[in-house]
A and B are shown apart, each in its own frame.
Chain A
Amino acid sequence: GENVEQHPSTLSVQEGDSAVIKCTYSDSASNYFPWYKQELGKGPQLIIDIRSNVGEKKDQRIAVTLNKTAKHFSLHITETQPEDSAVYFCAAPDSSYKLIFGSGTRLLVRP
């Protein structure tokens, strides 16, 4: 079945710097890669996703890149702000289209 590994588990950056979170997956048939943001006391919320027919997708300060050959995808946040502080989860579907989540990255943006 699908296995998703996420790194790092914690990340601390200075406000204005960039943050990168990386995930690898095992099932080469996976074709959908979402990223969720979980703020303190709330449920996860989708912030961006990418499908396997593209290599990069941007939405303002966030972007996701996908390397299908290497089976990894990354979340890039530029010009980080304190409100970006949260836990971020990557995910990939298994063969039955069930989402398998990574273990999460706690991002802290220092003012």
Chain B
Amino acid sequence: EAQVTQNPRYLITVTGKKLTVTCSQNMNHEYMSWYRQDPGLGLRQIYYSMNVEVTDKGDVPEGYKVSRKEKRNFPLILESPSPNQTSLYFCASSLYGGPNEQFFGPGTRLTVL
């Protein structure tokens, strides 16, 4: 089944404790992206990747890191999480960047205490 998977689905952590949220897609998509969803703000892009080893900042990149060492994986790293990073996170992929359908993962709900 073609899909985007994320792990973990739920995470409660404390301020400053490094964490990684994994994202994997099995559709051989070149483009991958991370969004955060907050009430009243819609989906805001954190980072995106046009292809392997190519990453770029989105609208809200502060406090996050990403890497794209393999085509299928695009992990999101929070080196020192803070409470304002409490949010619902989505990974997405599409065949190419630009005006194409994006396929979203099921989401990761993160709480930083």
Contact = CB atoms under 8 A, between A and B. Distances in A.
Contacts of A44: 43, 90, 104
Interface of B: 4, 35, 40-45, 48, 58, 90, 92, 97-99, 101-102, 104-107
B104 A43 contact: yes
Interface of A: 6, 9, 31-32, 34, 36, 41-46, 49, 51, 89, 93, 97-99, 101-104
Contacts, number: 48
A102 B40 CA distance: 9
A42 B107 contact: yes
Nearest to B96: A97
Given A42-B106, A42-B107, A43-B4, A103 B98 contact: no
Contacts of A36: 104
Given A98-B58, A103-B40, A103-B41, A46 B101 contact: yes
